[in-house]
Amino acid sequence: MKRNHTPTIMAFAAVLAIAGGGGAAAQDAEWKVSLGAGTLFKPDYEGSDEYEADPLPDISVSYRDIVFLRGTTLSANLLTFDALRPEGVIQVGPMVRYRFGRDQDDNDALRGLGDVDGSVEAGVFARFRVGPWSTGLNLVQDIAGGHEGMLGEAFVAHDVPLSDRLRANLRGSVSWADDDYMQSYFGISSAQAARSGRAPFDADSGFKDIGLTLGLEYELSADWGVGGRIGYSRLLNDAADSPLVDGDGSANQFTAGVSLSYRF
């Protein structure tokens, strides 16, 4: 049976919203909160060619532009300094996020492989922003015994105002994963092979995927907004060569989502 962590995440965000939204004007200036919900259309496992629609929490909480909660990612800007003045800013700090696991009941291709538990990934980030352009790096390690691996991610993004109320964001990304992550999601161990009847497959570290995402945000009013995004990623190396992908799924991965949010 699939795990649904959405109520827990929404409850956590609601607590932050109550803490930041119900005080004096000075407190309101320090806190920025946006809560909403929507739907995300995505593969039913990483590498699948079958898709499902899942609830999409749209959560954004920040305190004095230092501490940020975005969805399931919590980060803090410990170092912020100017670069390429007057527009350039560099930010560096720690981050922690939750990655949902994978159930063998999600798809017939996973039967006999067992579940991959949800992961808490902790690490550091660096961001560089100049004008409408931004780029960044994340390096995280699972600390909760889910996939037990390490991930490195890089992105470059460009914000485009299309009108007074409509904005677009185009983002390109690439990610690298170590042996533990790759084996957890794309490998087949000897024990899994015996249970599932598949041939063993060792998934080694390497670049995992490259992708492109287009996001749109429209302000319905001063408080309400609607957003949407479409994305494409291509699995690479052993992720693409895995029998779960090459045989039963697809290296081409698509996502689409829409959400409605309210800003405090």
Domains of the chain: 77-263 (2.40.160)
Radius of gyration of the chain (CA): 20
How far are the Cα atoms of 94, 114, 118, 236 from residue 141, in angstroms, in the given order? 12, 22, 13, 20
Other beta carbons within 10 angstroms of residue 41's beta carbon come to 15
pLDDT attached to residue 14: 39
pLDDT attached to residue 84: 67
Q: What angle do CA 260, 263, 264 make, to 5 degrees?
A: 145
pLDDT attached to residue 10: 41
Q: Does pTM surpass 0.75?
A: yes
What b/e readout covers 133-153, taking b as 16+ CB neighbours within 10 angstroms? ebebebbbbbeeebbbbbbbb
CB 93 within 8 A of CB 63: no
- Amino acid letter, 175: S
pLDDT 10s per residue in the chain (264 long)?
444 444 444 433 433 343 344 443 334 568 999 999 999 999 999 999 999 999 988 899 999 889 999 989 999 999 988 876 667 899 999 999 999 999 999 999 999 999 999 999 999 999 999 989 999 999 999 999 999 999 999 999 999 999 999 999 999 999 999 999 999 999 999 999 999 999 999 999 999 999 999 999 999 999 999 999 999 999 999 999 999 999 999 999 999 999 999 998
Helix (H, G, I), strand (E, B) or coil at 112: coil
